[in-house]
């Protein structure tokens, strides 16, 4: 089998060109300076049962065993919010955490409700607390599910998740169970694993990819930790990592892909970190709601309440969204405080080009020969 170049594989799975499915919104923003978000990232809870040492969503104060700062999304508010945003034009919701989303007391119910309301739904989970109700709801409702595996066995799992051997085996069994239900119900959902590649865990990437293939997931996403300014402890060696990733690619088959953002690996080398945009427009298209109801321009700002654009607990989403304060905060983002590179680097560059161009969105696309991506499983309503 001929091997596809890395960039091509990366783009085939999580391409920024998906934004072209939402040209209406980009045009609206370009012409009028405002639009409604396409996608929502909602943290159901900051509570977590795991102890990943470098987690940016949960910490010692939000652990399952008595953390003082545990906060859940207000269920009644959430049930009003979902139809409200659907009516205004939202197209998808990712329930990804903060902490562990499956620990939210109404997790299965909220997945079913989101689907009933006509929004595409996805989940990012550590995969440790599945039960029948959770698995059924995910298989019935999600477009995609991503499980943070982060290891090839108990040894690396302890480093990555701070958890004992049993936890690793529980997660592996839960993935088997999930895939089994997906198959028996003949659902077209995408199930993937992911792996955070760090200085102490990189050796597990190949084994994790192999295990993921054996488990029958559709792909594994391997990526470095976010590099927040001043934090170098999760930095990886570029050459060594690229070699491991190349080796992982040998595991690809028709039904199993390896996905990794090459630029996020390359940019671990400080000299290669070059931002090709001056402003981030993404928060106008993708927004983030923390468990306490605060709305943030992006998930990287969720631990800083000074970046809150308003709170939806006692207000209609529409009122917070079209408030001048929300726009002001989005416009004032200091890129120097953002993770470099950002998870959405390519999306941001693409939006920058489309919005800053002198040409209309359609003319720009025609000039560049840009067409809608056609890959199977593109999940167009998720950015
Ligand atoms: C914060 S977790 C919440 C969901 C769930 N508990 C889980 O682990 O999948 C969401 C994703 O963020 C990733 N993550 C955690 N800390 C990170 C960091 N410092 N840099 C990049 N990604 C991180 C996790 O690996 C996970 O895939
Ligand atoms: S399982 Fe997820 S939320 Fe929990 S500590 Fe690990 S990365 Fe953070």
Distances (CA, A) of 218 to 188, 211, 314: 11, 12, 41
Atom 16 in ligand 1: residue holding the nearest Cα: 55
Domain-located, residue 27? no
Ligand 2 binding site (Cβ under 6 Å of any ligand atom): 48, 50, 52, 55, 57-58, 97, 99-100, 126, 148, 161
Residue of 46, 58, 60 best suited for mutating to test ligand 2, as the one with most atoms within 8 Å of CB: 58
Domains held by the chain: number? 1
Residue of 145, 148, 163 best suited for mutating to test ligand 1, as the one with most atoms within 8 Å of CB: 148
- In angstroms, the CA 74 to CA 205 distance is 37
Residue of 97, 129, 196, 223 best suited for mutating to test ligand 2, as the one with most atoms within 8 Å of CB: 97
Long-range contacts of 274-278 (CB under 8 A, 24+ apart): 275/335, 275/340, 276/349, 276/352, 277/348, 277/349, 277/351, 277/352, 277/353, 278/335, 278/352
Domain-located, residue 358? no
Ligand 1 atom with the smallest distance to the CA of 150 is 25
Domain-located, residue 379? no
Atom 3 in ligand 2: residue holding the nearest Cα: 99
pLDDT given at position 65: 58
Domain-located, residue 99? yes
Domain-located, residue 11? no
pLDDT given at position 48: 92
347 with 19: CB under 8 angstroms?
yes
Ligand 1 atom with the smallest distance to the CA of 43 is 3
Q: Is 95 helix (H, G, I), strand (E, B) or coil?
A: strand
Residue of 14, 47, 56, 222 best suited for mutating to test ligand 1, as the one with most atoms within 8 Å of CB: 56
Domain-located, residue 2? no
pLDDT given at position 29: 96
Domain-located, residue 129? yes
pLDDT given at position 377: 78
59 alpha carbon, closest ligand: 2
Domain-located, residue 357? no
pLDDT given at position 5: 40
Where residue 77 sits, what CATH number does that domain have? 3.20.20.70
Per-residue pLDDT of the chain (383 residues; tens, 9 = 90+): 444 443 444 455 688 999 999 999 999 999 999 999 999 999 999 999 999 988 887 777 777 655 667 889 999 999 999 999 999 999 999 999 789 999 999 999 999 999 999 999 999 999 999 999 999 999 999 999 999 999 999 999 999 999 999 999 999 999 999 999 999 999 999 999 999 999 999 999 999 999 999 999 999 999 988 877 677 788 888 888 889 999 999 999 999 999 888 777 777 776 667 788 999 999 999 999 999 999 999 988 887 888 999 999 999 999 999 999 898 888 888 888 888 778 898 899 999 999 999 999 999 999 999 988 887 778 999 98
How close is the Cα of 56 to the center of ligand 1, in Å? Answer: 7
From the CB of 231, is ligand 1 less than 6 Å away?
no
Range of the domain at 144: 37-341
125 alpha carbon, closest ligand: 1
Atom 8 in ligand 2: residue holding the nearest Cα: 55
Dump the DSSP string for 296-361. ESSGGGTT-GGG---BSSSS-HHHHHTSHHHHHHHHT--GGGS-SS-TTHHHHHHHHHHHHSSS-H
End-to-end CA distance of the chain: 30
Beta 92-95 vs 39-42: how paired, if at all? parallel
């Amino acid at each position: 089998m001929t091997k596809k170049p890395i960039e091509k594989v990366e783009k085939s799975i999580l391409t920024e060109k998906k934004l072209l499915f939402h040209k209406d919104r980009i045009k609206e923003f370009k012409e009028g300076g405002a639009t409604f978000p396409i996608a929502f990232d909602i943290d159901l809870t900051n509570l977590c049962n795991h102890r990943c040492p470098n987690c940016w969503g949960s910490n010692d104060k939000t652990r399952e065993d008595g953390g003082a700062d545990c906060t859940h999304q207000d269920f009644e508010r959430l049930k009003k919010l979902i139809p409200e945003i659907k009516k205004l034009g939202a197209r998808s919701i990712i329930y990804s955490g903060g902490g562990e989303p499956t620990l939210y007391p109404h997790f299965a119910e909220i997945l079913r409700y989101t689907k009933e309301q006509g929004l595409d739904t996805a989940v990012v989970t550590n995969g440790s607390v599945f039960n029948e109700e959770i698995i059924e709801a995910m298989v019935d409702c999600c477009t995609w599910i991503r499980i943070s595996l982060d290891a090839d066995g108990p040894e690396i799992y302890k480093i990555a998740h701070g958890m004992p051997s049993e936890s690793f085996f529980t997660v592996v069994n839960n993935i088997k169970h999930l895939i089994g239900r997906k198959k028996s119900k003949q659902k077209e959902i995408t199930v993937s694993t992911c792996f955070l590649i760090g200085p102490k865990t990189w050796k597990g990437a190949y084994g994790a990819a192999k295990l993921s293939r054996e488990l029958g997931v559709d792909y594994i996403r391997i990526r470095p930790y976010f590099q927040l300014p001043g934090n170098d402890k999760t930095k990886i060696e570029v050459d060594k990592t690229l070699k491991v990733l190349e080796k992982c690619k040998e595991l690809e088959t028709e039904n199993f892909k390896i996905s990794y953002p090459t630029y996020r690996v390359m940019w671990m080398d400080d000299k290669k970190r070059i931002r090709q945009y001056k402003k981030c427009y993404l928060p106008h298209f993708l927004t983030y709601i923390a468990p306490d109801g605060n709305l943030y321009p992006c998930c990287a700002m969720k631990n800083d309440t000074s970046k809150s654009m308003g709170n939806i607990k006692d207000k209609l989403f529409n009122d917070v969204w079209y408030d001048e304060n929300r726009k002001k905060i989005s416009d004032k983002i200091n890129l120097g405080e953002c993770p470099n590179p950002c998870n959405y680097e390519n999306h941001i560059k693409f939006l920058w080009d489309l919005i800053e161009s002198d040409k209309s969105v359609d003319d720009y696309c025609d000039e560049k020969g840009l067409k809608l991506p056609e890959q199977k499983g593109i999940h167009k309503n998720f950015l």
